[in-house]
Amino acid sequence: MARTLTLDAWAQDEFSDPIPSRPTLMKYAKSGMISPPPFKAGRCWRVEASARFIGMADKPVVKKDDNPRLKRILEDGSST
């Protein structure tokens, strides 16, 4: 078995139906939402067979002078 898979082949194993579209998978790869991170080999994104989708790793930065509605959204709707 290969050590790395194409992004599409990896998504078949990682997600149940419906599988995210190709542009969404590329966004996940570019944004660091897959661990260990995928790499580009030529024109193709490659992923280790043991890689997992982790989603957003960083929380958004909430500034003091942000709009109160924006703060509420960024803080997951919790009251401050």
Q: Say whether the peptide bond before residue 18 is cis (omega within 30 degrees of 0).
A: yes
pTM here is: 0.65
As given in the structure block, the two tokens for residue 76 are 């997951």
| Domain boundaries along the sequence of the chain | 1-80
Name the residue with higher pLDDT: 73 or 15.
15
- Right CATH number for 1-80 from 3.30.70.270, 1.10.1660.20, 3.20.19.10, 3.40.50.720? 1.10.1660.20
Confidence of residue 78 (pLDDT cuts 50, 70, 90): low
Q: Is the pLDDT of residue 39 over 90?
A: yes
pLDDT value at 1 more than 70:
no
Centre a 10 Å sphere on the Cβ of residue 78 and count the other Cβ atoms it contains.
Answer: 7
Q: Judge whether residue 56 has pLDDT over 80.
A: no
> Which carries the bigger pLDDT value, residue 77 or residue 8?
8
Residue type, 1: M
| pLDDT(79) > 60 | no
